[in-house]
A and B are shown apart, each in its own frame.
Chain A
Amino acid sequence: MSREDDILDSLYDLTIDGERDKVVALTNESLELGMDPLVVLFDALIPALEEVGRQFEAGTFFVPEMLVAAKAMQGAMDVLRPLLAKTDAKPLGTFVMGTVKGDIHDIGKNLCNIMLEGAGFNVIDLGVNVQEQTFLDAIREHKPDALGLSAFLTTTMPMFIPLIAAIEEAGLRDGLLIYVGGAPVTQEYCDKVGADGYSPNASALVRHLKEKMGIKASG
């Protein structure tokens, strides 16, 4: 096995283990050795997050394990991002995300962001308690493939309804996939508010979105 394969295997395992500092160090080392940042991304980091998603959906991993793996991936991405920008690699798509007005819960949203970024999407996070106009402006500016709306409370999830209506009224609904999520949200509620997709967790969101956009898993 080559030194390069060794490094990729270690990066893969350490990312899954959530060892952020070691992942960052090894990512730097890989670049010093002249490895292609795209190889590091597509042959180690993205497969690692896919495995984390698989472990989460199988009930072996829980939020803590998923979160530290995602943070390790983020550490590596901070190193790779400037280099990736110079390649001709394009993101899989652009995803605008935000927690709706009246709601300041963000952990589910943040996990989705990291898993999406880890899968190769360009993620624009609008934060929490996001006003309607901010969503509209972001859709105009970034022309995303998909929009994610998060709500943690039964009292805030009804915000989806006027928000989606405003997006339609502004003529921004065509070609935009709208995802809704958060603890009380269900597929039934997603259908009721006229969203395109619902996902119970971050890794399922990535899977659904890729399916909907016709993107194959890298493994």
Chain B
Amino acid sequence: MDRRERFKKITNFEEADRVPVDLGSHVASIHRISYVNLKNHLNDPELKNEDVILDRMVQNVIPDEALLNRLNVDFRWIAPNWIDVVDVTDEIYMDMWKIEWQFMIDAYSVYSSPLSEAKTIADIENHPWPDPTDPKLWEGLAERAKWLYENTDYVLVADSIKGGILTKAFQIRGYEMMFADLANNLDFANALMDKILEMYKLFWEEFLKHVGPYVDMVYFTDDIGGQSSMMISPTTFRTMLQPRMAELIDHIKSKADVKFMYHTDGTVTPVIEDIIDMGADILNPIQTSAIGMETSVLKELYHGRLCFHGAIDVQQMLPFATPEEVRYDVTRRLYDLGRGGGYILAPCHNIGSDVPPENTEAMFKAAHEMGAYPLDLAQYLKKEHLEKPTEEQFAAQAEAPKLARAPRKGRS
């Protein structure tokens, strides 16, 4: 089956010939160290690209075509060019948003935020925002997308306008300041998020001018989930993010006929309905190591309304599991999420430098061996992973009931 046809069926909640498999976005490719390990493990001299960095921040590579073919990956990713990067020191660079990033161990983290001292809304306006119409950003993308569209059957994705509305606000304002703004400096927080929304609308409009006719999907990365709860309250999401996301998604879909894939790490169970309402077609990456992101429950609740992309955990599973355990986990996610379509298998994040190459190989091998429709996988799974979710599990997905404030109690 043609890969684009497979994608179309799956995202329309129909079974195809097999579950599609993905690797290579700017947040879910392979770290350069892991890539070299994998190359050595596979003992394939044809694999190149260990020096071709896709995203400088996370130090992942653009996987070589030979590797993507070998792993039988259905997607190809188109990312804007990195421009206006300034090397501040050997270890620190500044990106086009004027955010500084510091190298540590094997990747970069936010080092300084340009609006951390901002006091007024005028300070936001006065920030030297990047220019989305700069042709250097988009150079060569239309040609590449057109060529892939005409000469291959890969599912093409517009990717890597990095950071979502909240994530970019955190990076530009500084995490601690922005968290505080979201609680009690709402005018500033709203103004900053409005500005970022305006920027993203322009960025996506330009991007889609170049690649819109050729891409099947747009990938937008934000982060609203933490390890055990959301980073912001469901109310903050609904009042401050969701309306802006809806506006952005409308804008994008008015420019190109695409599916919209929304990325957020962590646990986001209380707002999945809101994510559907804002116009997301696909949710990524289903971080199964976060509390509440139970694949069997998510499928029961949202199948037919929301597709899932990811679910192969890179935090607790891939770095520490044996290849047999990886195979089991892949089988389990295919069983939970793949039935009736609606699932694309992929790692939840970059395959990090701590993931053994045996596990990366085992993941893709299992994805193809076990992912053919009809999915007849129950025989491979333990009893506890075959059971229907319990009432308790469903209840745990809901927003916590508001706790009344206890009156003050003194010592005496």
Contacts from A to B (Cβ < 8 Å):
8-9, 12-13, 16-19, 39, 42-44, 47-48, 51, 54-55, 58-65, 67-68, 71, 102-105, 107, 110, 129, 153-156, 183-184, 186, 200-201, 218-219
Which residues of the other chain, A, contact B227 by a CB distance below 8 angstroms? 183-184, 200
Question: With the chains together, A93 CA to B242 CA distance in Å?
Answer: 44
Given contacts A18-B184, A60-B400, A110-B176, contact A55 B354 (CB under 8 A): no
Classify the secondary structure of B's interface with A: loop
The yes or no answer to B135 lying at the interface (CB within 8 A) is no
Whether B179 lies near A64 (C-beta < 8 A) is yes
A200 contact from B106, B109, B179, B228, Cβ within 8 A: B228
Chain A residues with CB below 8 A from B319, complex form: 154
Known: A48-B408, A107-B175. 8 other contacts (CB 8 A): A8-B408, A43-B408, A44-B408, A59-B400, A105-B109, A155-B107, A183-B226, A186-B316
Complex Cα spacing A58 to B403, Å: 7
A43-B411, A67-B180, A155-B354 given; A62·B233 CB < 8 A = yes
Give B residues with C-beta under 8 Å from A.
102, 104-107, 109, 111, 175-176, 179-180, 182-184, 226-233, 236, 289, 314-316, 319, 352-354, 399-400, 402-403, 405-406, 408-412
A184-B315 CB under 8 A given contacts A43-B411, A47-B410, A64-B236: yes
Q: B314 contacts which chain A residues (CB < 8 A)?
A: 154
Contact partners of B175 in chain A: CB under 8 A: 107
When the two chains form the complex, which single residue of A43, A51, A62, A153 contacts B405, counting CB atoms closer than 8 Å? A51
Known interface pairs A107-B175, A155-B353. Does A51 touch B232 (Cβ–Cβ under 8 Å)? no
Please, which residues of chain B bring their CB within 8 A of the CB of A42? 410-411
Docked pose: A43 CA to B179 CA in angstroms: 28
How far apart are B229's CB and chain A's nearest CB, in angstroms?
A: 6
Tell me, rounded to whole Å, the shortest Cβ–Cβ distance linking B327 to chain A: 21
Pair B228/A64 contact, Cβ less than 8 Å:
no
Complex contact B352–A47 (CB within 8 A) = no
A96 to B402, alpha carbons, bound, how many Å? 34
